[in-house]
Amino acid sequence: MYDKIINDNKSWIDATFDKLNKKLSRTAVSSRYKIPYTTVNGVHDDRSSRPDTWTNGFWGGLMWLMYNATKNEDYKLTALESEKLMDKGFYEADKLHHDVGFMYHILDGANYRLTGDKAARNKDLLAAMSLMSRYNVEGNYIRSWNGKWYGEDNNGWTIIDCMMNIPILYWASEQIGDDRFKKIAIRYADMAMRDHVRPDGSVNHIVVHDTEIPDTVLGTKAGQGYAVGSCWSRGASWALYGFVLSYIHTKEEKYLDTAKKVAHYFISNLIADDWKPVVDFRAPEEPKYYDSTAGAIAACGLIEIAKNVSEYEKNMYLTAAIKLLKSLEENFCNWEENEDSILQMGTEMYTNGIHMPIIYGDYFFTEAILKLKGSDFLPW
């Protein structure tokens, strides 16, 4: 069934990849010495002066994805330049935070797995050690952010996004034969399953924990969603993809079941709006804000779920992923040469950064298309 669905959509998949390759092979050269986040008047901006920015790994990571798919040296050269720019982050250790998986695992980690570069491996291990050091032994969670966030002390805060960062810990345990990294990742996944994912499959973005009493929730925060108790769509997509990744790394069925539960909630909300993801699934009808990036992330997770469920379940998840990606391509992709970005209409949060291209949208859209083309390289 999986192969039949892929074959039925092969023409679209191949055509979409060709458009990706055409545009990215150009921007790989024109933006080689930048770390883009968005575009200004169609041209990539540059965040290389801020090496602690959580999104900075996606440009180089995207280049490694395309290099692996095409063996075009331009992609590799740009990825390596991106790594050089990101090395500065290690010299500003007070600015390292919970997002080091986003920053380094899909960048240096991808380099090591594709080329065997030992220096890249060591940098990825340093990033993993940094993330592990954020584990609160008393509270039993990995702390998010540093200092104050949203104007408040955030010592006890956890966020669903970190489900996408903990794969670096699974990898580190495999690399050095030390189960401590994996055990902390599992503890975080178990906490997120209990405290972030609601019974209906919707997701809390921020959960506030007691810093001294283990497994004690003091409350929740709206975070980047509409309100407390709503469901920020990108947070749901982090959960959807993050839990299936934890299943892939541990083979614990509870993580696959959780990914499926979130997927069902996500899919049911997409159907209501022609497969276009709104920013928050529990927000007012107007104004209608979309977040294309949430759809691209979710599509990656849906494809991985389809690969890991029984034969008669695959159809639902893979078909949903393709419908979602086709909707993103038709409604939100810009293939013109006068625009460096590809996926438009991303949104940072419900109250800010609405309807703009964001680099991780391009990254996850490309990752999803490559999965459909049969790539077995999992950057996470």
Kindly tell me the burial class for residue 155, based on how many C-beta atoms sit within 10 Å of its own C-beta (0-12, 13-18, 19 or more): middle
In which element (H, E) is residue 187 found? helix 179-195
44 DSSP β-pair partners: 39
Distance CA 185, CA 179 (A): 10
153 DSSP β-pair partners: 148
Instruction: Name the pLDDT band for 8 (thresholds 50, 70, 90).
Output: very high
- What is the reported pTM? 0.98
Q: Which residues of 64-97 are buried (b: 16+ CB within 10 A; e: fewer)?
A: bbbbbbeebebbbebbbbbbebbeebeeeeeebb
How much is the pLDDT for 87?
Answer: 95
Distance of CA 100 to the CA centre of its chain: 12
Question: Is the confidence at residue 149, as pLDDT, over 80?
Answer: no
Range with lowest mean pLDDT among 5-9, 64-68, 153-157: 153-157
| Domain segments of the chain as ranges | 2-372
List the one residue out of 106, 9, 102 whose CA is nearest residue 52: 102
Alpha-carbon distances, residue 94 vs 52, 89, 129, 159, 231 (angstroms): 9, 9, 14, 20, 31
Residue type, position 314, single letter:
K
- Please, which residues have CB within 8 angstroms of residue 97's CB and are 6 or more apart in sequence? 52, 54, 134, 144, 145, 146
143-172 average pLDDT score: 92
Query: What is the tens place of the pLDDT at every residue in 202-215?
Result: 999 999 999 999 99
How much is the pLDDT for 273?
Answer: 87
How many helical (H) and strand (E) elements, i.e. helices and strands, does the chain have?
14, 9
Instruction: Name the pLDDT band for 93 (thresholds 50, 70, 90).
Output: low
How much is the pLDDT for 369?
Answer: 99
How much is the pLDDT for 228?
Answer: 97
Residue 161, token pair as written in the block: 């996004």
Instruction: Name the pLDDT band for 91 (thresholds 50, 70, 90).
Output: confident
Is 305 in contact with 256 (CB distance < 8 Å)? yes
152-165 average pLDDT score: 95
How much is the pLDDT for 175?
Answer: 97
Residue 83, token pair as written in the block: 């790594």
Backbone angles phi, psi at 290, to 5 degrees: -100, 160
Is 59 in contact with 84 (CB distance < 8 Å)? no
How much is the pLDDT for 94?
Answer: 65
Question: Is the confidence at residue 165, as pLDDT, over 90?
Answer: yes
Residue 278, token pair as written in the block: 């709104």
Query: What is the tens place of the pLDDT at every residue in 220-248?
Result: 999 999 999 999 999 999 999 999 999 99
Residue 182, token pair as written in the block: 């994996």
Kindly tell me the burial class for residue 340, based on how many C-beta atoms sit within 10 Å of its own C-beta (0-12, 13-18, 19 or more): buried
Query: What is the tens place of the pLDDT at every residue in 23-47?
Result: 999 999 999 999 999 999 999 999 9
- Please, which residues have CB within 8 angstroms of residue 302's CB and are 6 or more apart in sequence? 240, 263, 267, 317, 318, 320, 321, 324
Query: What is the tens place of the pLDDT at every residue in 317-368?
Result: 999 999 999 999 999 999 999 999 999 999 999 999 999 999 999 999 999 9
Percentage of the residues of the chain whose pLDDT score is greater than 70: 99
Please tell me which residue, 301 or 273, carries the higher pLDDT value: 301
Distance CA 44, CA 359 (A): 9
How much is the pLDDT for 153?
Answer: 85
Distance CA 9, CA 155 (A): 47
How much is the pLDDT for 235?
Answer: 98
For the stretch 6-12, contacts whose Cβ atoms lie closer than 8 Å and that sit 24 or more positions apart, written own/partner, are 6/318, 6/372, 6/374, 9/322, 9/372, 12/326
Average pLDDT, the chain: 96
Residue 178, token pair as written in the block: 């030390």
Distance CA 241, CA 224 (A): 18
Question: Is the confidence at residue 51, as pLDDT, over 90?
Answer: no
151-164 average pLDDT score: 93
Question: Is the confidence at residue 255, as pLDDT, over 70?
Answer: yes
Distance CA 176, CA 182 (A): 11
Is 270 in contact with 324 (CB distance < 8 Å)? yes
> Which CATH fold topology does 2-372 show?
Glycosyltransferase (1.50.10)
Is 205 in contact with 232 (CB distance < 8 Å)? yes
Residue 343, token pair as written in the block: 């996926």
Largest separation between any pair of C-alpha atoms in the chain? 56
Residue 69, token pair as written in the block: 């798919």
Distance CA 179, CA 181 (A): 5
Query: What is the tens place of the pLDDT at every residue in 281-309?
Result: 999 999 999 999 999 999 999 999 999 99
